[in-house]
Every structure is written in C-alpha cells, then in structure tokens.
Amino acid sequence: MPHPVVVVGAGLAGLATACRLAGAGYEVTVVERGHQPGGRTGRIERDGFSFDTGATVMTMVDLLEDTVAAAGSRLDDLLTLQRLDPAYLAQFADGSRIRVRNGAEAMRAEVAAVSGAREAERFDDFVEWLRELYEIEMAHFIDRNFDSPLDLLSRPVPAARLLALGGFGRLGPAVRRFFDDDRLRRLFSFQAMYAGLPPSSALALYAVITYMDSIAGVYAPAGGMHAVPTALAEAAARAGVTFRYGLEVDQIQGRGGKVAAVRLVDGEVLRADAVVLTPDLPVAYRAFFPELTPPRGVRRGVYSPSAVVWHVGVRGEAPAGRAHHNIHFGSQWDEAFDALIKRHELMPDPSRLVTVPSATDPSLAPEGCSTLYVLEPVPNNRSGIDWDEEAGPMRERLLGFLDAEGYPTDVVCEELYTPRTWEHLGMEQGTPFALAHTFAQTGPFRPPNVERRRPGVFFAGSGTVPGVGVPMVLVSGKLAAERVADWLDGDR
C-alpha cells in the first residue's frame, strides 16, 4: 500500500507538492478550506469581471512545466500561455517611458533607443552577470534542501563564484555599477521589493528576480493567473490526488512519536504517514503546535512590507500605449523606501503597479470594459495604521492617480485589499510577501521546511525555503516533496 500523505492548502505550494508526491506514487489528499484551488492566487467573479486576487506576474514557466510533468501531464494540455511583449511598461516621473522587451536583443535595442549606445553595451554585461548569478543560485542554493548553514560548505566552488560575482554585496550599488541612467537603475532593482527590502540594502543575489522578470520573460495565462492553480489541480487530480474542499484541519495527530492522522473540524480523521502544511508558518504553529516553541525566524522574523491592491472593474478601455503590466515610478526613491521600510509609514511619493489583464484576455471583462489591478506598497501591520480609517482616503488617491494617468475611472465594481484583509486571510503581520529576505532569513537561515520535533511534519510556501514569489513557491513544493520522500522511504 502506498503511504498516505495529507497536504493542507491548495495554493501553489500545496499543489506543487501534491503533483510531485502523486507522481512519485504516494496516496495524496489535499485539504483546502476554500471551495476551489488557488490559495493566495485566488479569484473574484463579479458583474462579469474576473479579478485575480494574488500574484499577477508569471515567470520561469519551465518550473511550472517541470511540476506538471512530475505528475505525468503536459502543461500545453492544461494551460495556454502568452509571452508578453513588453513584459512591463515603465513610466517615470519626468514622463519618459521604457518598455521591458521580450528577449535580451530586443531589450538591448530599447536601452539603446532610450538611454544611448553606451548604456546598451553595459546592458550586455549586465545580462551576463544576471545569467551567471541565476545559474549558480538556482542549481546550488535555491533548488536544494539544507539541513544546516554548514551545508553551504559542501559546495565551496559555487559559493566562491557567487562571492566573486558580488552576490553578497548590495543590489542597488551592484546595479549602479552597470548603468549611469538612473531610470535603468530603478528598472532593474525595484524587484528587491518582492524580497521585502529596499534595493540599497537587499543582497545582490536577489538580482535573480530581475533575471526572471526582465530576461527570462513574463507570461499571461489565458483566463488570468487563477488558471495556473486550476491547471496544477487538474494535473494533480489526473495523477490520483484527492481534493477535499470547504474543510479545515483541526489537529495533527500522532502515534509513537510520529504523524498518524489529520483530524478535520467536523471530526473526520484522515490517515497520514506525513503531513505538509502550507499556511504561513506562524499561523501553522499557533493552530497545530501551540505546545512547541517555533524556530526563531518564526517568532522574531522581520516581515516584508505589505500592499494595498485595488481590484476595479471599469467601463472603458486602457489608453493606447499602455501594456499588460505598467509600473509608474514616483520621483522619490530612497526617501520613499525609508518611509515604507524604516519608518513604517505610507510612501510620500509612491511607485505603483497597474495591471490590465483584460487588455490581453478580453474575456476577463464585459465588452467595452476593463479589469484593473492597482498595487501600492504599504507598511505591514507593525505600522499601526488603522485601515478602517485609511482605506477610504487610499481608494480616493488611487482613483485620482488612475484618472491623472488616463486610465478609465467609471467604476462598475471594486474590491480593496489592505493589510487588514491579508491578515484576515491568514497572512502574518498583514503581508502577502511573508518574511523579508534579509541575510538572516535567506537560504539555510530561513525557517526550515521540516519540524523534526514532530516527525512526519513538513512545510511549503513563501515563509519557508526558498522564499517568496510564484517560482520560489513552486520550488518550495518540490523541496517539501523531497523531504517527505526521504522520510517515508528511507530516513525514518
């Protein structure tokens, strides 16, 4: 009989774990409190509009292909993807624009046209640096389980090369060494925000996010981003995974010091030789292991800033010249990050992301209308901001911003997500970006994906290794599945 495994949560991490475990022959059940797959990559349907409530940027499709293949399916049979060109449209405070083009050659031409031949030459060097960083990090430090920081010593050559490339320096200064044009510096370093840090203090090794966004390509799934978890759930189901929706886990039960079962809130008990938990780690420890002292990173971790996301369905179409993803940079940079991250205040001159998924897939809005996703970085709930009071003024500022930038503003329906919303949805400190990627919360220093005091308990998701973002969460599912396989088939 195959070992039974229960995965708690049908978000991307849980689905990736389930695909890999089912493909390896385990008997997998996924328990999800919602009524559909997706988790943070959720969906709202309202008045003919479809809103993706989580991530909007899809990169590193090869990781998604690999996950589906592990379950015995082909991604092309489950999901249609369109590579975006431009991947982003960046607009700066002086009114100038830079398109992040599809492919290094096209992007080089864009840099030459906007910033000159010298900056284009430097872009060539920048791309080579990004590629080498990515290849070293992915193979040796991201797609790998660590049992302790000492494991880093087992790969001295890649570690030395990463050091030589400046990976342990700071991202902002590293990018400045390549470019004189301040617009390019911002364009190729703002991704540090995904890691929860300002570019000036984020480790340069997080330039791998820049590689994913700016070099490897950005894709739009037909049907919106929610089509990604839907495809993963279908691949898992075809491989034999059982899904139990609309149910919550009450308790992880043990026998003889090992995991034995999962009890649901309605009293049903599911046999399990291993359990993979995908909620935020502090939430998981409070819910299932209140008797344990969580790892230090869980107890005292530094959390990323949060974001306000305004989902708005409007009459009218996006103005000509706008892209699927549009980044509107404010005039301030270091000052804005200082306010957000150091002082836990709203950015005085915020940079914002406006995604218009209906521009690529008209099925996401009624005819003649648009679906907009407007994101502004804000402090997490450490700030003490009262979002009951601040939500209204924030909404009006975002509406004024859209109007000033020429977007349609005849609102049909809307939903405003604030840090209070994220916390209500189970995200620690009201941030969907989990623990910040400080040095002390990176790689083997990040909270581990195994709870050795409760043999058979494992974790996946953005709060554990390797970290935040759709690609990293897919990898987290792979790493968790490897932990489970090692436990069940060998090291028990």
Look at residue 10 in the predicted model and tell me its pLDDT: 98
Query: What's the helix, strand, coil split of the chain in %, to 5?
Result: 40, 20, 35
Angstrom distance (rounded) from CA 456 to CA 121: 52
The three-state (H, E, C) secondary structure of 60-88, written as one string: CHHHHHHHHHHCCCCHHHCCCEEECCCCE
CB 305 within 8 A of CB 294: no
Ramachandran sector of residue 434 (left: φ over 0; alpha: ψ -120 to 50; beta: rest): left
The two tokens of residue 475 are 């990898």
Sign of CA dihedral 259, 264, 269, 274: negative
Distance CA 116, CA 122 (A): 10
CA 269 – CA 259 distance, rounded (Å): 13
Judge contact between 46 and 413, C-beta under 8 A: yes
Is 471 in contact with 65 (CB distance < 8 Å)? no
In sign, the C-alpha dihedral spanning 159, 163, 166, 169 is: positive
CATH class of 4-44+59-76+224-299+437-489: alpha beta
- Tokens standing for residue 111: 């840099």
Distance of CA 382 to CAs 221, 234, 302, 378, Å?
35, 39, 10, 11
Q: Which residues contact 200 (CB under 8 A, 6 or more apart)?
A: 170, 171, 172, 173, 334, 337
CA distance between the termini of the chain = 17
**SS3 letters across 196-246:** CCCCCCCEHHHHHHHHHHHCCCEEEECCCCCHHHHHHHHHHHHCCCEEEEC
| Residue ranges per structural domain of the chain | 4-44+59-76+224-299+437-489, 103-214, 304-429
**Average pLDDT of adjacent 10-residue blocks, the chain of 492 residues:** 96 98 98 96 97 96 98 98 97 97 95 98 97 94 90 86 94 96 97 89 92 93 98 98 98 95 98 98 97 94 97 96 97 94 95 98 98 98 96 98 98 98 97 95 94 97 96 98 94 49
Structure tokens at 457: 């308990």
Backbone angles phi, psi at 307, to 5 degrees: -155, 145
Task: Report the distance separating Cα 360 and Cα 357, nearest Å.
Answer: 6
CB of 171 closer than 8 Å to CB of 186? no
